[in-house]
């Protein structure tokens, strides 16, 4: 009986086979991840061409805009284009549900530092630790992918003032209203900068284009997300 037991040979799976199985699992996971990323990119491409917001022309600017943003020569405005924030984001958010649903398992599992799952309303670690996978899923799914701010674009043509004067006017007046000025560009006939105010959640761009041979500033534009 002892001899029969001794004859029994216990075979372990070859290391090569185990490595091969691990490699297959990794390859399958990587392939799935690439597929989901591809699907996400395709969805964003569709979004780019189908989710264009509806803008409309205004005759006058609302009081809330005038109180927040200083304007030079408001009577000479060429055009005012208004795009509601809800209009910008409504269609985009609907289309984004599909790639979000696909990516949600990866985000919930791998996003340990909450870079993609919004937690701005959670103020302590105890409440953060109580978040379930379902909580994380809902937060990720309903996180806006676009801002909901209204956008105003104001344009002037042939303003009877020097480009440098208009440029300095807006910089100085915006700073008086506690706006931060950054990314200034002054080259050739173009002058521009970005302005923002975190407290009021306002962002905007000043842009001007001028032909030095003329006696007026050819074009001035201010785009504001309010």
Each residue's pLDDT tens digit, 148-161: 788 899 999 999 99
Mean pLDDT of 17-46: 57
pLDDT recorded at residue 91? 63
Reported pTM: 0.57
Same domain for 161 and 213, yes or no, is: yes
Instruction: Kindly indicate the confidence band of residue 206, based on its pLDDT and cuts at 50, 70 and 90.
Output: very high
| Same domain (yes/no): 135, 195 | no
| Two tokens, residue 173 | 């007046």
Say what the pLDDT of residue 167 is.
Answer: 94
Going by pLDDT thresholds of 50, 70 and 90, the confidence category of residue 37 is low
The answer to whether residues 188 and 212 touch, using CB atoms and an 8 Å cutoff, is: no
Domain boundary among the residues 95, 129, 148 is at 148
Domain CATH code at residue 163: 3.30.2030
Q: Is the pLDDT of residue 125 over 70?
A: yes
Structural domain harbouring 39: 1-50+86-148
- Tell me the C-alpha distance between 191 and 193, whole Å: 7
Judged by DSSP in three states, 137 sits in: helix
Q: Are residues 91 and 12 in the same domain?
A: yes
Report the number of distinct structural domains present in the chain: 2
| Residue 183, helix vs strand vs coil | strand
Give tens-digit pLDDT for 58-109.
888 888 888 899 999 888 889 999 988 766 666 666 667 677 777 777 777 7
The span from the CA of 208 to the CA of 165, in Å, is 11
Of the three residues 97, 116, 148, the one that is the final residue of a domain is 148
Q: Are residues 168 and 90 in the same domain?
A: no
Same domain for 218 and 180? yes
Candidates 104, 103, 105, 130; CA nearest to 119 is 130
């Amino acid at each position: 009986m002892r001899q029969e037991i001794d004859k029994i040979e216990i075979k372990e799976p070859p290391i090569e086979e185990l490595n091969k199985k691990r490699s297959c699992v990794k390859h399958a996971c990587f392939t799935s991840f690439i597929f989901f990323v591809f699907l996400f990119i395709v969805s964003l491409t569709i979004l780019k061409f189908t989710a264009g917001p509806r803008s409309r022309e205004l005759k006058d600017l609302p009081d809330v805009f005038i109180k927040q943003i200083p304007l030079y020569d408001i009577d000479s405005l060429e055009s005012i284009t208004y795009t509601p924030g809800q209009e910008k984001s409504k269609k985009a958010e609907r289309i984004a549900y599909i790639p979000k649903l696909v990516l949600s398992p990866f985000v919930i599992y791998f996003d340990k530092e909450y870079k993609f799952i919004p937690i701005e309303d959670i103020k302590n670690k105890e409440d953060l630790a109580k978040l379930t996978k379902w909580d994380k899923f809902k937060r990720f799914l309903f996180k806006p992918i676009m801002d909901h701010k209204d956008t105003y674009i104001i344009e002037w043509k042939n303003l009877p003032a020097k480009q440098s004067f208009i440029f300095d006017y807006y910089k100085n007046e915006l700073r008086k209203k506690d706006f931060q000025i950054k990314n200034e560009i002054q080259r050739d006939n173009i002058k521009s900068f970005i302005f923002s105010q975190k407290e009021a959640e306002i962002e905007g761009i000043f842009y001007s284009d001028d032909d030095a041979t003329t006696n007026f500033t050819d074009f001035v534009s201010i785009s504001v997300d309010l």
